[in-house]
Amino acid sequence: MTAVEERTGAAAPEKEIGKARRRKEDARLITGRTTWTDNMVLPGMLHLAVVRSPVAHARISNVDVSAAREAPGVVAVFTGRDLAEEQGSLPCAWPVTPDMVNPGHPSIAVDQVNHVGEAVAVIVARSKAAAQDAVELADIDYEPLPVVLDMEEAVKDGADLVHDHLESNTSYHFVFDAGEAGTGGDTEQAFSGADVVVSRRFVQQRLIPAFMEPRSVVVQPQGDNYTMWSATQIPHILRVMAAMVTGIPEHKLRVIAPDVGGGFGGKLQVNPEEILCLLIARRLGKPVKWTETRSESLMTAHHGRDQVQFVDIAADREGNILGLRVRLLADMGAYLRLITPGVPALGAFMYPGIYKFPAYRFECDGVFTNKVPTDAYRGAGRPEATFAIERIMDELAVELGMDPLELRRKNWIDAAEFPFTTVAGLAYDSGDYEAATQQALQLLGYDELREEQRRRRESGDPVQLGIGISTFTEMCGLAPSRVLGSLAFGAGGWEHASIRMLPTGKVEVVTGSTPHGQGHETAWSQLVADSLGVPFEDVEVLHGDTAISSRGLDTYGSRSLVVGGSAVVRAADKVIAKARKIAAHLLEASEDDLEFADGKFSVRGTPGTGLGIQEIALAIFAAHDYPEGIEPSIDADATFDPENFSFPHGTHLCAMEVDTETGFVKIRKYASVDDVGTIVNPLIVEGQVHGGLAQGIAQALYEEAIYDADGNLTTGTFVDYLVPSAADLPHFDTGNTVHAAPGNPIGAKGVGEAGCIASTPAVVNAALDAVRHLGVTDIRMPLTPERVWRAIHQGGDGGDRAAARSNAQAVDSSDAPSTSGGAL
């Protein structure tokens, strides 16, 4: 690293874009010596603890918080009844159909609880410990109602209802039909004429985002102004929404997302506790803080996925695909949160994947259950779609007796066909699926592993080997505002940036795309260093405070570099344009004769002349000498609204060992080649791919949020909700192809979700490839050893897990014999 960071005076500075810069922000993030929300201490600050429902579905018949109110250190206790008139409803910004049913979402339950963990009272105390101690003193009576957990049961006629004032448990029925949209042929016709139809039911298990920093909120009232610090991905959206929910005028509310420790979509939310903190700070006129425990986080922060997918694919005998039909049941949980209904709908456009389907129909029912709501989780709709298409392509290949890669190759979009409008109506921008696949095959050592697979099969080795393929694309760079409008989304998809040139020549970049661990500060500095020709170290990136970054739409959907970075580049262009006029004036030359390179304006054909942009910054600060008719500033801002999505793609290959005696699966080798367009920082890209792979592999092998028959979250700690560590994951062989995105000035496509989207089907396909000759056709995720073993030895997909009992002795020990006297 040292070598590339040294600058020599004379030579032109190296381009920053493409340089594997270590991240500026890491030292403070990794050591924790920074402004995490929970580090905030304000004079007179009070602490909140939330009393939560221990039952999944019940009427609240009595609430007695008198003992809690009397507890030492307790200042106030609020029940749902106390806040009923002012709490409004948490917002849902994505009514995917005009007749979508939204039951409303109280921040604190008033008459009825609809999932375990729902807030029923809030303790306010002088210390966090005092608040927590008083939680146990709240006495709440519940009259149980029937618990609705299974979507396939919930949609039947006469099913028990989650919300008994509604007619059914179905929130909406969303349809995309390519025939009706004019982007494809008639699906029924395509299927009726097909030689081969393969139908499968896939289960996308419920997942928990499990960000590293738990959610935390601080609210400080100052007169009728409020400042909220929150560990959120979306300070800008939160400000608008919180203002609308609470009635605090938007200009009286400032939201700050300080350093935020991960989100993965889990902090793309307007949380009940954020609203409760505002309401209580307003009532008491005192600053308040709420920080969740890990148990609260797993139980009450929104979950992800949880869909049942019915997928049909039609093809002729030669393997030409003819049609795709997808029907989804999507578990909303008990309520609709910010984009709960939109997640499966966002996936609707990705099911055709990289293939040239002539016909396609998608239907989705959003279903209420007595569980915590689902919402965005890394990939949000696209991992589900990618899983379904990449799994069904393998199943079709088996049915046809074709090599799974040959089947894909026969049907994917060729490099020469870009831009290509798919059957779902999306215009894929650029790429080369064959090139990515060839590179991935090399990285994996495909031929050798196939040979080893053959040997193991012939010898009947207890450890069998399989290779799984996932050739994927995703829609990123969310999003063109007009497209979002056409999908009834409640906001646009543009992004804003401004650049402030300081008198000493240093540069402040203000971005509306709020990072929560992605490395914006480093990447944006690289962009600006190249655009303005200033040193990387001279750039500071400001973000996350609505008073500093006034306009923004935050970070999700692999949008930051593609949309937010583009706004930065456009703002830099404007700075240069404004500086050009000053430079022409000071150099006594015509603007047309000036060229700008490496941070300097010089007069064409006049060597030795020149004026640096950092010098111009000082000159215009002094403002002693500048042209008539312009303002004395070279600061600029820009708003970038993409015209199209960007479409990263890639080929992921997984080689998997399956111990047929125990069912244990172990990734032998993993190779991925991703085309994310222009790479600004290869180190950040590599990091995003690694993290994404870990999360996608985790869905395939480890993670599953499980409720027991009463609606209790059995996986309530990390003992049972298994998040893998580096010790459980293989070395990743990663590579890239680069086809610049034509839709933005950087050429970037987005990398935040690629690894997570692509890897899950590659892993499952690999495990199935290892044991398919033993009669296994499906294994439900996650592929626990028990499920794999049962699928091999008993048939089926591995079956249900024993949900009534956790593995954590701690959770069961309440009814265990006393261990008094023993040393724990």
| Residues within window 508-547 making contact with other proteins, judged by CB under 8 A | none
Distance, in Å, from the CA atom of 68 to the CA atom of 131, rounded to the nearest integer, reads 9
Please tell me the distance from the alpha carbon of residue 290 to that of residue 276, in angstroms, as a whole number: 9
Closest separation in Å from C-beta 697 to other proteins: 12
Asked if 62 touches other proteins (CB under 8 A), the answer is: no
Nearer to other proteins, 568 or 713 (CB): 713
Instruction: Give whichever of 482 and 793 is closer to other proteins, judged by the CB atom.
Output: 793
Please report whether residue 70 would count as binding other proteins according to CB under 8 A. Answer: no
- Encoding tokens for residue 168? 């059914």
Using rule CB under 8 A, residue 790 touches other proteins: yes
Taking the least distance from each CB to other proteins, the nearer of 665 and 768 is 665
Residue 225 engages other proteins in binding (rule: CB under 8 A): no
Pair of tokens at residue 333: 């949980």
CA dist list (Å): 539 to 311, 509, 531, 551, 628: 50, 7, 12, 20, 30
Shortest Cβ distance from residue 138 to other proteins (Å)?
A: 14
Nearer to other proteins, 66 or 807 (CB): 807
**Distance set, CA 338 to CA 93, 234, 299 (Å):** 5, 11, 18
Asked whether the beta carbons of 755 and 690 are under 8 A apart, the reply is yes
427 vs 729, beta carbon nearer other proteins: 729
Instruction: Give the nearest distance from C-beta 781 to other proteins in angstroms.
Output: 14
> Is 183 or 715 the residue whose CB approaches other proteins more closely?
715
Cβ of residue 791: shortest distance to other proteins, in angstroms?
12
Which of residues 248, 519, 784, 791 is near other proteins by CB under 8 A? 784
End-to-end alpha carbon distance in the chain: 48
Stretch that binds other proteins, among 21-29, 470-478, 516-524, 718-726 (CB under 8 A): 718-726
User: Looking at beta carbons only, is 386 or 806 nearer to other proteins?
Assistant: 806
Beta bridge partners of 112: 59
Helix axis angle for 382-400 and 754-771, nearest 10°, is 30
CB of 396 or CB of 713, closer to other proteins: 713
Considering the complex, what minimum distance in angstroms separates the CB of residue 449 from other proteins? Answer: 24
The answer to whether 689 and 734 are in contact (CB under 8 A) is yes
Q: In the complex, what is the shortest distance from the CB of residue 810 to other proteins, in angstroms, rounded to a whole number?
A: 5
774: amino acid identity, one letter:
L
Contacts of 232 (CB under 8 A, 6+ apart): 238, 255, 257, 260, 263, 267, 269, 274, 514, 516
Rounded to a whole number of angstroms, the minimum distance from the CB of residue 203 to other proteins is: 16
725 binds other proteins (CB under 8 A): yes
How far is it, in rounded angstroms, from Cα 38 to Cα 559? 27
Considering beta carbons, is residue 374 or 714 the nearer one to other proteins? 714
Looking at the chain, how many residues does it have? Answer: 824
Residue 523 buriedness (CB in 10 A; 0-12 / 13-18 / 19+)? buried
86: contact with other proteins by CB under 8 A? no
Residue 370 — φ and ψ, nearest 5°?
A: -90, 60
CA angle centred on 513, ends 509 and 516, rounded to 5°: 105
Establish if 801 lies at the interface with other proteins (CB under 8 A): yes
Phi (first) and psi of residue 90, to 5 degrees: -60, 145
> How many chain residues interact with other proteins (CB under 8 A)?
48
Q: Is 459 in the site for other proteins (CB under 8 A)?
A: no
Mark residues 727-746: x for contact with other proteins by CB under 8 A, - for none: xx------------------
712: contact with other proteins by CB under 8 A:
no
Residue found by looking up tokens 């309520």 in the block: 335
Q: Which of residues 263-322 bind other proteins (CB under 8 A)?
A: 293, 295
Sign of the dihedral through C-alpha 82, 87, 89, 91? negative
Stretch that binds other proteins, among 12-20, 361-369, 608-616, 721-729 (CB under 8 A): 721-729
Binding region for other proteins (CB under 8 A) out of 151-159, 221-229, 688-696, 806-814: 806-814
Cα–Cα dist 544/330, whole Å: 32
Distance CA 352, CA 357 (A): 7
- Among 34, 35, 102, 132, which residue sits at the site for other proteins (rule: CB under 8 A)? 132
Q: Give the separation between CA 234 and CA 260, rounded to whole angstroms.
A: 11
Does residue 486 touch other proteins according to CB under 8 A? no
Characterize 37-68 residue by residue with b for buried, 16 or more Cβ atoms within 10 angstroms of its Cβ, and e for exposed.
Answer: bbebeeeebbbbbbbbbebbbbebeebebeeb
**Closest-CA residue to 690 (of 732, 723, 633):** 732
Q: Alpha-carbon distance 126 to 286, whole Å?
A: 11
824 touches other proteins by CB under 8 A = yes
Binder of other proteins out of 5, 111, 136, 448 (CB under 8 A) = 136
Q: Is residue 212 a contact residue for other proteins (CB under 8 A)?
A: no
- Contact flag: residue 30 with other proteins (CB under 8 A): no
Residue 720 interacting with other proteins (CB under 8 A): yes
* Of 112, 171, 300, 715, the one binding other proteins by CB under 8 A: 715
Half-sphere exposure of 370 (CA within 13 A, CB side): 30
CB of 79 to other proteins, least distance (A): 22
Phi, psi of 638 (to 5 degrees): -150, 145
Contact 532, 601 (CB under 8 A): no
Ordered alpha helix ranges (H), 49-140: 66-70, 80-83, 128-135
In terms of CB distance, is 604 or 805 closer to other proteins? 805
Confirm or reject binding of residue 714 to other proteins (CB under 8 A): yes
DSSP conformation class of 562: I
* Minimum gap (Å) between residue 231 Cβ and other proteins: 18
Residue list 648-707, contact with other proteins (CB under 8 A):
661-662, 664, 702, 706
Exactly one of 179, 724, 730, 742 binds other proteins (CB under 8 A); that residue is: 724
Range in contact with other proteins (rule: CB under 8 A) among 161-169, 171-179, 770-778, 796-804 = 796-804
Minimum CB–partner distance for residue 746 and other proteins (Å) = 38
SS3 424: coil
Torsion angle, alpha carbons of 94, 95, 96, 98, to 10: -160
Q: What secondary structure does DSSP assign to 302-319, as a single string? A: -BEEEEEEEEEEEE-TT-
- Per-position DSSP letters for 783-821, written without gaps between them: --HHHHHHHHHH-TT-----TT--S-HHHHGGGSPP-TT
Counting contacts by CB under 8 A, is residue 814 touching other proteins?
A: yes
Position of tokens 């706004």? 567
By C-beta, is 398 or 811 nearer to other proteins?
811
Cα(288)–Cα(42) distance, integer angstroms: 9
Give the CA radius of gyration of the chain: 28
Least distance between other proteins and beta carbon 417 (Å): 43
Output 295 or 678, the one with its CB closest to other proteins: 295
Give the other-Cβ count within 10 Å of 600's Cβ: 18
Q: C-beta of 464: minimal distance to other proteins in Å?
A: 15
Instruction: Give whichever of 328 and 792 is closer to other proteins, judged by the CB atom.
Output: 792
Rounded to a whole number of angstroms, the minimum distance from the CB of residue 569 to other proteins is 42
Is residue 786 at the binding interface for other proteins, with CB under 8 A as the rule?
A: yes
When asked if residue 203 is in the footprint of other proteins (CB under 8 A), the reply is no
CB of 725 to other proteins, least distance (A): 6
Residues 579-608 that bind other proteins (CB under 8 A): none
823 interacts with other proteins by CB under 8 A: yes
Catalog residues that contact other proteins under the rule CB under 8 A. 128-129, 132-133, 136, 293, 295, 661-662, 664, 702, 706, 714-715, 717, 719-720, 722, 724-725, 727-728, 784-786, 789-790, 801-807, 809-811, 813-814, 816-824
